[in-house]
Amino acid sequence: MIESLLIANRGEIARRIIRTAKRLGVRSIAVHSEADAGMPFVTEADEAVCVGPANPAQSYRNTEAILAAAKATGAQAIHPGYGFLSENADFARTVEANGLVWVGPGADAISAMGDKINARNLMAAAGVPVAPGTQDPAASAEAAIEAAGEIGYPVMVKAAAGGGGMGMAVANDEAGLRAEYDKVRAFAERMFGDGSVLIERYFPRVRHVEVQILGLADGRVIALSERECSVQRRNQKLVEEAPSPAVGPELRARFLAAAVKAGEAVGYRNAGTVECLLDPATGEFFFLEMNTRLQVEHPITELIHGIDLVEQQLRIASGEAPTFDVENLATTGHAIELRVNAEDPKRFLPGPGQVATWVEPTGEGVRVDSGYAAGTTVTPFYDSLMAKLIVIGADRAEAIERARAAVAGFEIAGPKNNLPFFAELLENDEFLSGDYDTGIVGRMRAGKK
């Protein structure tokens, strides 16, 4: 087992990784920006190193500073968490070139899946269902319009190098496509340094379902179970649940088989997620992307399986076998995760500020993975995620009841937060029915059922 671990991240995911490291007797090393010096993850780590000012480019994305911290502290391995450098293939290669263990998939797999067009073509070749779309980047608006004529409107305009819901737009006709193509291309060049654009069929009513995979040290790829991620704002997830209320045994088997094919196609190792779009009308699903890292929503999979995914990541990176029986995977109960963000609950605009009150809910089946505490400050430099409120019940109804009580018992004063939205969602008829899709938040805000 790895003996010392540097966590190249911050906030709740850094605390989450530190918690498992401590349980396993692994020395934890935090890196932090000047703005995060007093954060809980810094004080809870066995050792901490400041790697630069608040700007992420000068701290959490500063590869030289992070590698220098690893060398200075004698770290044996680096866990990137999610975001920041977690899907940076060059960083993964550099970590290993410096004699350190990279707790994640190989750099080649990260590269292969990082380009949406390349990933899509690889998946199609491996027999994973993909939505109708372009096999090569649309080099111009005219090329995009020609492709849309073959695919059929509406279409999704996507940044090939994008992720996390960024760099995506819908076009319903030629005029809209021309405008959105230029916007997405400019955004992609600015944000990702790559203006390549992919055109795909857009499904007006669709569910977002993903599968957790593990590429084991012995070369096998296994799929654990699926997660429902359709409660979104601006194509970014707010609520996840496992198992998906839209997936029965036959569909689940197809999802898991496709996810294993996806992982095998790139020789995947460590934790990853195969994201898909599900057409609820037909039961067809299509590959969306593969996230080559630990997902924000991994706790709900942990709860229904009784597995610590961070521990499995460390064991795989150490060349060890998993701690569970991969031939007899089973799930128990139903889990829901609510992403508690520093944002207003109506328009979901960021609302940073100093945390005056922070009281986390407790009770049976309640777990809180948090990055903040009273006296800390949510700054505008980083993602607005403050905590993940996770519940598990014997079934979906009990999980929802526990989520309601936990939301009511979570006290936050200072920064704006979206707890009132969750209270509203957990009483929404469409959500309660389980028959919802990615448009649910828009309908709630428009006052529609």
Helices 249-265 and 116-126, axial angle in degrees (round to 10): 110
Q: Which of 15, 207, 293, 339 is catalytic?
A: 293
CA 344 to chain centre: 21
Q: Which helix (H) or strand (E) holds 8?
A: none
Residue pair 378/371 in contact by the 8 Å Cβ criterion: no
Residue bearing tokens 């590429």: 215
Hey, what are 449's tokens? 């059922």
CA 398 to CA 439: how far, in whole Å? 25
Hey, what are 423's tokens? 């209270």
* N residues, the chain: 449
| Whether residue 233 lies in the annotated active site | no
Nearest of 313, 129, 301 to residue 223 by alpha carbon? 301
Pairing between β-strand 411-413 and β-strand 357-359 as defined by DSSP bridges = antiparallel
Nearest of 279, 298, 276 to residue 288 by alpha carbon? 276
C-alpha distances in Å from residue 188, one per residue of 54, 182, 198, 307, 377? 24, 10, 11, 37, 31
Please give the radius of gyration of the chain, using alpha carbons only, rounded to the nearest integer: 21
Hey, what are 196's tokens? 């390549």
CA 111 to CA 126: how far, in whole Å? 17
Local structure of 63: helix, strand or coil: helix
C-alpha distances in Å from residue 441, one per residue of 16, 38, 49? 29, 35, 40
* Residue 133 DSSP code: B
CA 103 to CA 86: how far, in whole Å? 10
Residues annotated as catalytic are: 293
